[in-house]
Structure 1
Amino acid sequence: MVRLAPAPVTLLGEQEVLLGYAMPESTIPFSLTQHGSTGCHLHDLTLSPRAMEQIEASRAGQGVVLRLKLQGDVWMGREVASFHDPVECRINQSDWLTALAQCGHGQYLLFEVPILASKDPRAPSSARYLQQAKDHFAKGHFDEAVGACRRALEGLLEATQSKDAQFAAVKAFKSGKSEELNIDQREKLIRQAVMNYTHLAHHHEEGADVVRFDRSSAAMVLGLTASLIARIR
């Protein structure tokens, strides 16, 4: 029989990252014959939220390359032979995104902000653009993700009819009356600050000077945008 040991699973990229150890399903019975044969065997690897984030940061919108180091012992009567066999597994972008959706990863951001449903009647435009931003982010299109976040926030202004109130909060802040602002007005200041930050992506779409947002910047904007939209009443 073949007795497999836990197999180290490493994420390949600019830096190799050990994700954990895949546990073999069971031992493999076999008998010696004159004919070769093939079969399959399952290994289970539980990925922590931290490991998932490491994969997402490393792949930068592309596919995933993993190395599984198979190791164990082959028992033939009283004789025992050990083996070590590294196996490389390439997962293309499409299959990885499908797997993320199936396991529920991405329905919430890392700090668990619920994503507004695409058909939410309270702010359908914001929900649609937020979903686009999320999709762009998963594919590594960070400029487009930030631009979609801006349109989502603009849709929120329209849905809540709060454009004038937001302008008034900004005006009060600039005039030195920040201490008089209530919580709702301060939230509108945050919303305006995010819109100002994403305005660079808006210029990029119009063909002006090219501005490139990295993954960290896009994650910050996406998190803030989702949080602000999730607070719609």
Structure 2
Amino acid sequence: MVLFDISLSISLADPMRPLLVSIPSSERLIKCHDFPGSEQVAFEMVLSREQINALEAYRQEKDLKLNLGLRALVASGDELLPSFDCTDIIVPREQWLDALKNAGYRNTLLFEVPLPATSDGLASLISKAQEFIETGHYKDAVMQCRHIVEQIESMREDKNLSASANKRAHSSERKGMTSIERLFSLREQLKNICHLGAHGTEEFTRSQAKAILGMTMALLSEPTVGFAAGQDLIEEQD
């Protein structure tokens, strides 16, 4: 009996969602004899950053549960038959985290930002900013960040607080400012940076646009200066 065209598929186990559809084996052909034996077959793959992120979003803080599917064509005598089998496996959390660390995954920080569940407008602005970065329109992305800050100011009705705190931050009174006042000042400074996206002639680089979007989302996730506490929240990732 001869096995060939051997491939492996990997899916998330619960609920079942495909991750990698077809990974060819390192051995293209295996001959099986009429006595008991075993063959070890290697499968090599490259996971993209998006796939790793999807795995982590699925895994949360738990073990990683996967479903493996093994396919092959089996030739026996004059017959050629397809063969398929699948099984669930569990990768222990610590083993998976060690693998991520060794691969350099921890060099990237994933920061989860709570957004108001009812604010389609904010979600749209953030989505536009991300899309502008992906398509190379960095100045437009920065302008969207200004719109985000302004919408938060309008929702909270505290625009005057950030302007007042920013004035204090640039005066002799700055030593007596509270942490909340300093965060309001930071929000005003962030809006000033974003102002260049709407009215300035200066261009932004990709890294600058990403940094400004990251600062916007991180700062506004703080309830004292951003999304007000007590709102129904959903989670988005940056």
Tell me the residue number matched to 1:222: 213
Equivalent-residue separation in structure 1 for 2:109 and 2:198 (angstroms) = 26
Equivalent-residue separation in structure 2 for 1:202 and 1:187 (angstroms) = 23
CA RMSD of aligned residues (A): 3.4
Preserved contact between residue 138 and residue 204 of structure 2 (Cα < 8 Å): yes
Superposed, 1:163-182 pairs within 5 Å as 163-182=159-178
CA displacement 1:21-74 (0-9 Å, x = unmatched): xx853422299xxxxxxxxxx85213468x99xxxxxxxxxxxxxxxxxxxxxx
Tell me the residue number matched to 2:46: 45
Tell me the residue number matched to 1:113: 112
Say if 1:115 and 1:212 are closer, same or farther in 2 by CA, change over 3 A.
Answer: farther
Equivalent-residue separation in structure 2 for 1:157 and 1:124 (angstroms) = 16
Superposed, 1:5-20 pairs within 5 Å as none
Equivalent-residue separation in structure 1 for 2:49 and 2:129 (angstroms) = 24
Code of the aligned partner of 2:217: A
Tell me the residue number matched to 2:150: 154
Equivalent-residue separation in structure 1 for 2:123 and 2:138 (angstroms) = 18
Tell me the residue number matched to 1:136: 132
Structure with greater proportional strand content: 2
User: Considering only CA atoms, is the larger Rg found in Structure 1 or Structure 2?
Assistant: 2
- The total of aligned residue pairs comes to 141
Tell me the residue number matched to 1:100: none
Equivalent-residue separation in structure 2 for 1:24 and 1:47 (angstroms) = 17
Code of the aligned partner of 2:206: R
Tell me the residue number matched to 1:28: 28
Code of the aligned partner of 1:133: A
Tell me the residue number matched to 1:184: 180
Say if 1:168 and 1:24 are closer, same or farther in 2 by CA, change over 3 A.
Answer: same
CA drift at 1:182: 1.0
Code of the aligned partner of 1:44: M
SS at match of 2:187: helix
Percent of aligned pairs with the same amino acid:
22
Tell me the residue number matched to 2:96: none
Preserved contact between residue 166 and residue 189 of structure 2 (Cα < 8 Å): no
Tell me the residue number matched to 1:201: 197
The alignment's TM-score, normalised by the length of structure 2, stands at 0.50
Unmatched segments (≥5 aa) in structure 1: 4-22, 32-41, 53-108
SS at match of 1:114: strand
Tell me the residue number matched to 1:36: none
Code of the aligned partner of 1:179: K
CA drift at 1:125: 3.6
Equivalent-residue separation in structure 2 for 1:165 and 1:124 (angstroms) = 25
SS at match of 1:153: helix
CA displacement 1:100-141 (0-9 Å, x = unmatched): xxxxxxxxx944132636xx33x5543321221112112222
SS at match of 1:44: coil
Match of 2:141 among 121, 145, 155: 145
The alignment's TM-score, normalised by the length of structure 1, stands at 0.51
Unmatched segments (≥5 aa) in structure 2: 6-22, 32-42, 54-107, 229-238
Equivalent-residue separation in structure 1 for 2:156 and 2:192 (angstroms) = 19
Say if 1:136 and 1:201 are closer, same or farther in 2 by CA, change over 3 A.
Answer: same
